[in-house]
């Protein structure tokens, strides 16, 4: 029964969006309904929190990769590109000021 409940929760809930409070509330509710023992409820809550954090990190990594890939396809300048260009412009401005001062 415990495994069935756990599998149902993992597939039925957006794991990456689960917060600690929500997980604890869910475990408490299942314990109160007699579906889980206190020990099983704590174990379920701990496992869901770990999996939720991993899912959140995996989602973040995937979104980051997708954004970078999309930016590359769109041929947009990255923050690094902009920093390099800013540095070059400042260098050129300095050189231009020096050249103007000589004249």
Higher pLDDT, 63 or 12: 63
The predicted pLDDT at position 66 comes to 86
Closest CA to 23 of 32, 38, 13, 33: 13
Name the residue with tokens 């920093």. Answer: 83
Average pLDDT, the chain: 78
pTM: 0.49
CA–CA distance, 42 with 3 (Å, rounded to integer): 14
pLDDT tens-digit series, residues 10-44: 554 555 566 677 777 777 787 777 777 778 877 87
Token output for 76: 């947009």
Domain boundary assignment for the chain? 2-102
Give percent of the chain above pLDDT 70: 81
Token output for 3: 């495994």
């Amino acid at each position: 029964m415990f495994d069935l409940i756990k599998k149902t929760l993992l597939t039925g809930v957006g794991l990456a969006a689960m917060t600690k409070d929500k997980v604890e509330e869910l475990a408490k509710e299942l314990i109160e309904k007699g579906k889980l023992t206190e020990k099983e409820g704590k174990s379920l809550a701990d496992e869901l929190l770990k999996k939720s954090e991993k899912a959140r990190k995996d989602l973040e990594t995937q979104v980051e990769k997708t954004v970078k890939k999309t930016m590359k396809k769109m041929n947009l300048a990255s923050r690094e590109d902009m920093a390099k260009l800013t540095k070059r412009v400042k260098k050129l401005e300095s050189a231009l000021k020096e050249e103007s001062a000589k004249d």
